[in-house]
Amino acid sequence: MKVLLVYAHPESRSLNGALRDFIVSHLQERGHHVQVSDLYAMGWKPTIDAADFLGHDPTERLDVVAASKHAYASGTQARDIEAEQQKLLWADTLLLQFPLWWFSMPAILKGWVERVYAYGFGYGVGEHSLQKWGERYGEGTFFGKRAMVITTTGGWDSHYSARGINGAIEDLLFPINHGILFYAGFDVLPPFVIYRTGFMTPERFEQARGELASKLDQLESARPISFRRQNGGDYEVPSLVLKEGIGEAKHGLRIHEQ
């Protein structure tokens, strides 16, 4: 298996840094090939601007979507973007590792998504018409590949439960799992979450490593989250609203799971 780990934490001596090193060593010991994009160490530029599109005329207004489409199709993207795209095409499995900051991923990782998911690559794939809104949500460039979020948070697991004050962790991660990963075609595995990081002890760390090892060993076999495919027949076209009678027994964002 070929695994790309996209890692976003500024301190290599952190809990996340230790987990990153464990992930790489554990996978390699089992014969897998691993590449790591350590965004802070790389000095990754998180913002989209005209410099991302090498053929852009600076006297013209920057239309990001149009510029992204042209740069991807013509091979005139910034080289760091192109390099990350090649890693994604190489990988069978994508791991996104980050601390949960302000209920989402760190800005540098969001910027990685925004820049690397170029038009024609991460989005804008396939037929776009009133009959079909492209190849996305279960189709697209990364169809057949797998992805999983690995994240840490200082809050307790009860804080992120269905009735917890922070909201269910599945709901908080829905924009990432469904809107970034599944959108582009990945089969998305249930996330691995470590809670109460401020109360980490050697014993808890060993337990967490064991649980993470088990998740890593099941990357190829674990059942993905059963998100409904956009073009699978569950949604009305062109409104993309669930058809009558589908998902009525579920609540909230769960209606988009089979």
Tell whether the model's pLDDT for residue 19 goes beyond 90.
yes
Domains and CATH numbers, the chain: 2-225 (3.40.50.360)
Confidence class for position 249, pLDDT limits 50, 70, 90: confident
User: 107-117: per-residue pLDDT in tens?
Assistant: 999 999 999 99
- Spatial separation of the C-alpha atoms in residues 250 and 253, rounded to whole Å: 8
Beta carbons of 225 and 186 less than 8 angstroms apart: no
- Spatial separation of the C-alpha atoms in residues 187 and 138, rounded to whole Å: 7
User: 125-178: per-residue pLDDT in tens?
Assistant: 999 888 899 999 999 999 999 999 999 999 999 999 999 999 999 999 999 999
User: 46-91: per-residue pLDDT in tens?
Assistant: 999 999 999 899 999 999 999 999 999 999 999 999 999 999 999 9
Phi-psi region of 168 (alpha: psi -120 to 50; beta: other; left: phi over 0): beta
- The pLDDT of residue 248: 85
Q: What percentage of the chain exceeds 70 in pLDDT?
A: 100
